[in-house]
């Protein structure tokens, strides 16, 4: 979308909702991501200025169960209302805004690059408290009242595995390690539990950190209902340890500390075997996502070199799966 | 099947596409990002040319022993998938796991020998590089 048109429509959206006579200043595009365009602007109303972030859906195909941007905004709004540290939502676009799917949220300062969060010397103090803070944030998310949420996907573990299997099969690439992982997941299937809000993509790289630790949780596009321990498994994937393989929690912490802090915050003891199921599931899911990106290059759908390169990262996932299944630490 | 897709011809296509673009645009940040990826893919291809033939031979030998039938590595690998999926092979069998690990380490020797889990598995000195 054109910059001037976006500015006009944003101001109109504020006015129509009775949120004041807002001036949209310093509007600039930050990035064109995989599924969304991101902009920032200063929301000026009655002389007070606040930096805001706009995310607009760009129509690019997303992997599997990603939420549309409107639902994502509504989940983030509900999470913020429930007291979760996530940027406050100003506007969730509707058809009258003429902006497609998207939302406006408050800008929050801090570091989001996983590599720096895992390694930067300036964030050493943050890393010391980050594992416990992640556990507490997850316990808070898993307590959110489902009644305040929009309609969200609600699949059993068996359905989630079956769906991943279908996606993998659709590429026509035969990988014995992935077959082993699917068989292992079938054998280790956890019993169903009452559904909770699951963030779905809570990992190093999707939260904001400053010198005091966790500041805000981002990227709710994979939110769904399910087993809360899925989030703990996903947080431990080697893909987000940024080389710090001996620190399973995001490259900065240990599983024991995560589980203990989560149990203390949630009042529920953590079943480590169940987390292991979800870590294998998550690793396999990441592998299928890598295949999906690689396949976009192979089919010519997205003829970009980075897609080709991601296809060759599948081997990393294969080794991670073997290490998990064989218990190599 | 010693490596994962995209195959070497498709990787060359991607590299040629990037390097063939107008070099006057090379100062664009996006362009140097793509050039870095092209360089890393060239390194993958160099390792693949050096290693893939030998790895495929070793893989075929292991698969022949594991499955008790003949064929090339790719065909036997497809057969192995079917055996695992149909559970006509014990998924906890040490010979199976050893084969999968060897094959995967072979792929990573080509695709990313700096990967943390590869360094750990091959006993290389711990490194935070990937």
- What is the domain partition of chain B in residue ranges? 8-121
Q: Which one of A319, A326, A327, A329 would you mutate to disrupt binding with B, by most B Cβ within 10 Å of its Cβ?
A: A319
Determine how many CB atoms are found less than 10 A away from the CB of residue A46. Answer: 8
Query: Residue B81: what are its φ and ψ, rounded to 5°?
Result: -55, -45
- Confidence band for B130, pLDDT divided at 50, 70 and 90: very low
**A223/chain B closest Cα distance in angstroms:** 29
Chain A positions contacting chain B at CB under 8 Å are 119, 173-177, 179-180, 182-184, 187, 238, 241-246, 294-295, 297-298, 303-306, 308-309, 311-316, 318-320, 322-323, 325-326, 328
For residue range B5-49, list pLDDT tens digits in order: 999 999 999 998 888 875 655 556 556 888 899 999 999 999 999
Q: Which one of B8, B51, B84 would you mutate to disrupt binding with A, by most A Cβ within 10 Å of its Cβ?
A: B84
Q: What is the dihedral of CA B8, B11, B15, B17, to 10 degrees?
A: 120
Tokens for B123, please give them: 């006993």
| Mean pLDDT over each residue of chain B, to the nearest integer | 90
Give the total residue count for chain B. 130
Is A321:B52 a contact under the CB 8 Å cutoff?
Answer: no
How many C-alpha atoms does A19 have within 13 Å on its Cβ side?
A: 16
Task: Give pLDDT, residue B127.
Answer: 45
Q: Match 């963030």 to its residue by tokens.
A: A199
Give the total residue count for chain A. 329
Task: Give pLDDT, residue A146.
Answer: 97
For residue range A35-51, list pLDDT tens digits in order: 678 999 999 999 999 99
Go through the domains of chain A in sequence order and give each one's CATH number: 3-106 (3.30.200), 114-326 (3.90.1200.10)
Q: Which one of B82, B91, B98 would you mutate to disrupt binding with A, by most A Cβ within 10 Å of its Cβ?
A: B91
Integer Cα distance of A254 and A248 in angstroms: 6
pLDDT for residue A328 is more than 90: yes
DSSP string computed for A189-224: -PPP---EEE-S--STTSEEEETTEEEEE---TT-E
Integer Cα distance of A113 and A121 in angstroms: 14
| Mean pLDDT over each residue of chain A, to the nearest integer | 95
For residue range A197-225, list pLDDT tens digits in order: 999 999 999 999 999 999 999 999 999 99
pLDDT for residue B125 is more than 70: no
What percent of chain A clears pLDDT 70, i.e. is strictly above it? Answer: 97
A328, closest residue in chain B (CA to CA): B121
Q: Match 């991607």 to its residue by tokens.
A: B14
For residue range A63-115, list pLDDT tens digits in order: 766 898 999 999 999 999 999 999 999 999 999 999 989 999 999 999 999 99
The C-alpha R_g of chain A, in whole angstroms, comes to 20
Integer Cα distance of A147 and A1 in angstroms: 35
Closest C-alpha to A307, from B27, B129, B47, B11: B11
How many C-alpha atoms does A52 have within 13 Å on its Cβ side?
A: 27
Task: Give pLDDT, residue A1.
Answer: 74
**B18 vs A41, A132, A206, A316, CA distance in Å?**
34, 44, 30, 25
A178, closest residue in chain B (CA to CA): B81
DSSP A239: G
Determine, for residues A316 and B111 on separate chains, whether the beta-carbon distance falls below 8 Å. yes
């Amino acid at each position: 979308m054109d910059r001037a048109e976006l500015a006009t429509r944003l101001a109109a959206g504020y006015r129509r909702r009775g949120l004041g006579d807002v001036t949209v200043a310093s509007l600039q595009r930050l990035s064109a991501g995989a599924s969304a365009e991101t902009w920032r602007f200063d929301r000026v109303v009655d002389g007070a200025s606040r930096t805001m972030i706009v995310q607009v859906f760009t129509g690019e195909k997303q992997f599997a169960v990603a939420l549309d941007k409107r639902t994502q905004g509504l989940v983030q709004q509900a999470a913020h209302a429930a007291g979760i540290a996530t940027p406050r939502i100003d506007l969730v676009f509707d058809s009258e805004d003429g902006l497609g799917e998207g939302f406006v949220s408050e800008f929050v300062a801090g570091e989001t690059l996983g590599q720096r969060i895992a390694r930067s010397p300036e964030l050493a103090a943050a890393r010391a408290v980050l594992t416990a803070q992640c556990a507490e944030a997850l316990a808070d998310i898993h307590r959110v009242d489902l009644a305040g949420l929009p309609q969200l996907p609600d699949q059993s573990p068996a359905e989630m595995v079956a769906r991943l299997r279908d996606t993998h099969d659709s590429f026509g690439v035969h990988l014995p390690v992935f077959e082993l992982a699917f068989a292992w997941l079938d054998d280790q299937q956890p019993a169903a539990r009452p559904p909770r809000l699951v963030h779905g993509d809570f990992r190093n790289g999707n939260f904001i950190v400053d010198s005091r630790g966790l500041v805000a949780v981002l990227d709710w596009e994979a939110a769904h209902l399910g087993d809360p321990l899925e989030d703990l498994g996903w947080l431990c994937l080697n893909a987000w340890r940024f080389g710090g393989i001996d620190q399973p929690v995001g490259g900065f912490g240990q599983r024991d500390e995560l589980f203990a802090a989560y149990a203390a915050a949630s009042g529920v003891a953590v079943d480590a075997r169940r987390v292991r199921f979800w870590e294998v599931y998550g690793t396999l899911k990441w592998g299928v996502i890598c295949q999906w990106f690689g396949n976009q290059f192979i089919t010519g759908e997205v003829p970009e070199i980075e897609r080709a390169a991601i296809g060759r990262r599948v081997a990393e996932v294969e080794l991670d799966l073997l290490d998990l299944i064989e218990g190599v630490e | 099947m010693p490596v994962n897709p995209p195959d070497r011809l498709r990787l060359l296509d991607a590299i040629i596409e990037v390097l063939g673009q107008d070099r006057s645009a090379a100062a664009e940040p996006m362009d140097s990002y793509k050039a870095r990826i092209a360089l890393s893919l060239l390194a993958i291809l160099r390792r693949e040319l050096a290693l893939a033939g030998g790895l495929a031979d070793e893989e075929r030998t292991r698969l022949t022993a594991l499955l008790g039938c003949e064929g090339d590595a790719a065909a036997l690998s497809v057969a192995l998938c079917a055996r695992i999926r149909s559970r006509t092979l014990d998924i906890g069998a040490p010979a199976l796991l050893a084969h999968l690990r060897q094959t995967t380490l072979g792929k990573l020797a080509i695709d990313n020998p700096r990967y943390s889990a590869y360094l750990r598995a091959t006993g290389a000195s711990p490194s935070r590089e990937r």
